[in-house]
């Protein structure tokens, strides 16, 4: 089971990777399935920037010691996975 709960994520790994690859500012997309694997990847690639949701502000970001900068982005509520799932549930009821 995902750490985010049953039925998550709603898009498969391949689709998520392709979506990120389509962004011209992203040089490389790699996947991970554990905190240790994430930390090892960040150490290996020495990324310039880690981008993570603003709900992580003030918390320890895994692998932050291996990057030059951590950037936070504000969540856009109408694009949240929770809202998408709720809309799907309403349609199926």
User: In the chain, what are the domain boundaries?
Assistant: 13-92
Token pair for residue 12? 């498969």
Mean pLDDT of the chain: 86
- For β-strands 69-73 and 49-53, DSSP reports them as parallel
pTM of the model: 0.66
Summarised one tens digit per residue, pLDDT across range 7-16 is: 777 888 999 9
Token pair for residue 30? 């790699």
Q: What is the pLDDT of residue 89?
A: 81
Whose structure tokens read 């992203």? Answer: 26
pLDDT band of 82, cuts 50, 70, 90: confident
Q: What is the pLDDT of residue 2?
A: 54
């Amino acid at each position: 089971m995902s750490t985010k709960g049953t039925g998550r994520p709603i898009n498969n790994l391949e689709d998520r990777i392709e979506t990120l690859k389509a962004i011209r500012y992203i040089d490389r997309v790699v996947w991970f399935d554990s905190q240790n694997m994430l930390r090892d990847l960040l150490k290996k690639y020495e990324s310039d920037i880690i981008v993570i949701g603003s709900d992580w502000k003030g918390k320890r970001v895994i692998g932050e010691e291996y990057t030059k900068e951590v950037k936070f982005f504000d969540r856009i509520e109408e694009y949240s996975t929770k809202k998408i799932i709720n809309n799907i549930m309403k349609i199926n009821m």
